[in-house]
Amino acid sequence: MKNSAPASLVPVGTRVPPRWRKEVERVLITEQQIARRIHAMSRDIERDFRGRETVVVSLLNGTVMFLADLIRHLSLPLRLDFIGVSSYGAGTESGELVFTKELRLDMRGRDVLLVDDILDTGRTLSRVIPKLRALKPRRIKMVVLLDKPERRVEKVEADYVGFTIPNVFVVGYGLDYAEKYRNLPFVGVLKPEIYQR
């Protein structure tokens, strides 16, 4: 089931907070829009998971805020595990992938909810999914906050998508550029001069 909301126009008059105005061009998704959407997604997930024993597998580090906000709305018997995937280099392209933290929990026969911040080329998730499948879960469902379908290289789609966004480089709400900007409470478009330097 494909289920996503387009990144709709932010309310008229929404401005980048002064502290970030030098680096962030505009707010793409506000804190309030994110909160409302996550609440709706959590209801969809709860309905599909029907109270089954669930393992939530979250990709480090970009999912921190999304994960925290999502799981507090999930009334499911769930366990939490993390997998670390990192791409070399600090650019805007995902390069060579290395696993920096392996899974710890037993997934056999469980329902797995795989959580990622953004589905871009799909290279990351297409490497992670076979690793999870090898652990014999009952099924794997994937949730991402953001989806950039224009950039897709691998054949991978999420079951739950927060917002479908255009091909722009975004930061905030967990997403980084060179490990910065994860702490912004909104999703913003980074000024190109920041990553073109």
Amino acid at 153: V
Q: Which is nearer to Mg ion, 122 or 137 (CB)?
A: 122
Q: Which string of DSSP letters, residue by residue, matches 97-154? A: EEEEE---S--TT-EEEEEEEEESSSHHHHHHHHHHHTT--SEEEEEEEEE-GGG--S
Single residue of 60, 73, 169, 191 touching ligand IMP by CB under 6 A: 169
Contacts of 147 (CB under 8 A, 6+ apart): 4, 118, 119, 158, 161, 162, 163, 164, 165
CB of 139 to ligand IMP, least distance (A): 21
Q: What is the rounded CA–CA span in Å between residue 190 and residue 126?
A: 26
Report 11-70 residues binding Mg ion (CB under 5 A).
62
CA dist., res. 97 & res. 44, Å (int): 31
Which among 13-21, 34-42, 110-118, 129-137 is the span making contact with ligand IMP, rule CB under 6 A? 110-118
The amino acid occupying position 178 is: A
> Is 111 part of the annotated catalytic residue set?
no
Residue 55 or 184: which CB sits closer to ligand IMP?
184
Number of residues binding to Mg ion, judged by CB under 5 A:
1
Q: Which of 120, 147, 159, 176 is catalytic?
A: 120
**Binder among 121, 129, 149, 164 for ligand IMP (CB under 6 A):** 121
User: Of the two residues 43 and 178, which places its CB atom closer to ligand IMP in the complex?
Assistant: 178
Which positions touch ligand IMP (CB under 6 A)? 62, 94, 116-124, 169-171, 175
